[in-house]
Structure 1
């Protein structure tokens, strides 16, 4: 049996801990090289300015929402919705955004809840559909359009759950009809059975 003085034991333990720290540090660096890092400016925009990760990365890259939408092959309305925290998009959408922003995909998930977000079911009540319609109308007004054609299929896709067996197309159509009546929109297309993706109205400003 070997007996060590307390001071020698403490020195050896410290060396062992240093070795473990070095191994952990090297592993962390390798992970960063493989998965990417988040620039300090992006972190500051998220913490200090309260921006969502996508908005912070876009600002960091010097892009407009229109630029990002074009690069990612998405609508500007959908990019606006994601940046406002009103939607997260599918995993495929986040991959497109990550490529367009030259950012690690995980860094666009905010608090690292990618798996939870990917499986989260969208809320599909009448108010949610109305909110999406109003968001698109507001964006159209802000960009100087004089009218906007909106279909139920387009709205349901933006909210989520369509196409799919669990869609709520009748509720979506009811929301679209109610807002169309309130804003005196013109009926452009009506499905034979009354409710369907082809239901469309033109809203004029």
Structure 2
């Protein structure tokens, strides 16, 4: 990508679901400027803008690899669909309640999802995908939530039930210790079995099930 040093252009039209980064820039503007190859002193030095660009760069690298794997037919519609879905995943989403019922503490879905995906990926060989939240049985604005997370597991996994149990344990632990999020259920969906690169862990969970 060629980088220009002139100031970025005007931001895209406002989207009510757009995210404002902690630095004040809109996420859509940072992404649009990166795709146009435009930058300024702020985006070059701001850690929040750099992190947003890194997220998009990783996403587009993954999508390009997918497109290369689908040689032989027009993958452009699929590429656009994947980009749209994951862009939505990177948006802040709705607030989720933290702490006790009488506390006014909240975390945005996107931030919680990143934390729980990272926890799932602590199981060797696991790669986490979509992470969604739904109201738990109690319901209500400050009620507990249920989590559904999709993962890719190593093809060499000897027991998928054991692996799913370890992923669930890690996700529940992160929700409790790192977020203070009351989770009633974690639905683990193994969406694919993948070959691991040379030198990667063999897919056994650390220490086995607990």
Q: Kindly indicate which of the two structures has a greater share of residues assigned to strand.
A: 2
Instruction: Specify the structure having the higher radius of gyration (Cα).
Output: 1
Which TM bucket (shorter chain)?
Answer: under 0.3
Q: What TM-score, normalized by structure 1, do the two folds share?
A: 0.25
